[in-house]
Structure 1
Amino acid sequence: MSAPSPKPDGSRATPRVHTLANGVRVVCDPLSGWQTVALSVVAGRGARFEDEGRSGWSHLLEHMVFKGAGGRSARDIVEVIEAGGGHINAATGYERTSFQVRALKDGLDLGSAIVADLVQRPAMDAADLAREKQVVGQEIAEAADTPDDLVFELAQEAAFGGQPLGRPILGTTTSIGAATPQTLGAWRQALYAAPSLVVSAAGAVDEDELLRLAERDFGGADGAALPPPVDAAFVGGVRTVAKRLEQANVVLLLPAVGVHDPDYFTLRLLAEILGGGMASRLFQEAREKRGLAYAIDAYSETYAETGVLGVFAGCAAEDAVELAEVTVGEIANLAEPVPAAELARAKAQLKGSMFMGRESALARAEQAAGQVLLFGEALDPEQVAAEVDAVTPQRLASLTARILDQKKAAVAVLGPKAALKAAETFQRAVAG
Structure 2
Amino acid sequence: MRDSAFDQAFPDQPLRQPIIGYQDTVDDLTVDDLVAHHRAAYVGGNIVVSTCGNVDHADVVGMVEDALGHLPSGQRMPAPELTYAPGELHNGHGGDQGTLRLIFPITEFDLKMHRAATLIYDCLGGHGYSLLMKELREKRGLVYNCWADAYTVAGQNLVMFEATGEARKMPEITDIMINTIRDFALNPTQEELDHAKQRMHANIFMALDHPSARIDYVANDIFERGKVLDIKEKYDGYQALTLSDLAKAGQMLLMQPPTIISAGPTRGKPKFDAIRAAISGRDTTKPGFRQRAS
Report the TM-score, using the length of structure 2 for normalisation. Answer: 0.85
Deviation at 1:282, TM superposition (A): 0.9
User: 1:379 Cα deviation (Å)?
Assistant: 2.7
Amino acid at match of 1:273: C
The structure with the largest strand share of the pair is 1
Match in the other structure for 2:242: 392
- Within the candidate set 397, 409, 417, 2:258 is matched to 409
Q: Aligned partners of 2:109 and 2:49: how far apart in 1?
A: 21
Q: 1:276-305 CA deviation, whole Å, 9 max, x = no partner?
A: 223422111111122211211122212353
- Residues 222-261 of structure 1: pairs in structure 2 closer than 5 A: 222-230=73-81, 232-257=82-107, 261=111
Q: Secondary structure at the match of 2:51?
A: strand
Q: Distance in 2 between matches of 1:336 and 1:224?
A: 46
Alpha-carbon deviation of 1:191? 2.5
Partner of 2:130: 280
Select the residue among 198, 212, 221 that pairs with 2:62: 212
1:5-404 alignment runs, 5 A limit? 151-203=1-53, 205-221=55-71, 222-230=73-81, 232-257=82-107, 261-404=111-254
1:429 is aligned, of 278, 284, 289, to 278
In structure 2, give the amino acid aligned to 1:305.
G
What is the aligned partner in structure 1 of residue 269 from structure 2? 420
RMSD value over aligned CA atoms? 2.4
Gaps of at least 5 residues in structure 1 are 1-150
What's the CA shift string for 1:22-44, capped at 9, x where partnerless?
A: xxxxxxxxxxxxxxxxxxxxxxx
Q: Which AA in structure 1 matches 2:104?
A: L
Distance 1:428 1:396 in 2: 22
Which amino acid in the other structure matches residue 197 of structure 2? Answer: K
Residue type of the alignment partner of 2:259: A
Q: Which runs of 5+ in 2 are unaligned?
A: 283-294
2: CA distance, partners of 1:305 / 1:374: 6
* CA displacement 1:102-149 (0-9 Å, x = unmatched): xxxxxxxxxxxxxxxxxxxxxxxxxxxxxxxxxxxxxxxxxxxxxxxx
User: Which deviations, in whole Å up to 9, do the C-alpha atoms of 1:14-72 show, x marking residues without a partner?
Assistant: xxxxxxxxxxxxxxxxxxxxxxxxxxxxxxxxxxxxxxxxxxxxxxxxxxxxxxxxxxx
Asked if structure 2 preserves the Cα contact closer than 8 Å seen for 1:200 and 1:365, the reply is yes
Secondary structure at 2:85's aligned position in 1?
Answer: coil
- Work out the percentage of aligned pairs sharing the same amino acid: 26
What amino acid does structure 2 have at the position aligned with 1:429? A
1:122 alignment counterpart: none
Structure 1-normalised TM-score? 0.59
- The one-letter code sitting in structure 2 at the alignment partner of 1:178 is D
Higher relative contact order (CA 8 A, sep 6+): 2
Say if 2:100 and 2:260, in contact at 8 Å, map to a contact too. Answer: yes
Q: How many residues are paired up? A: 280
CA shift, 1:356, in A, is: 1.5
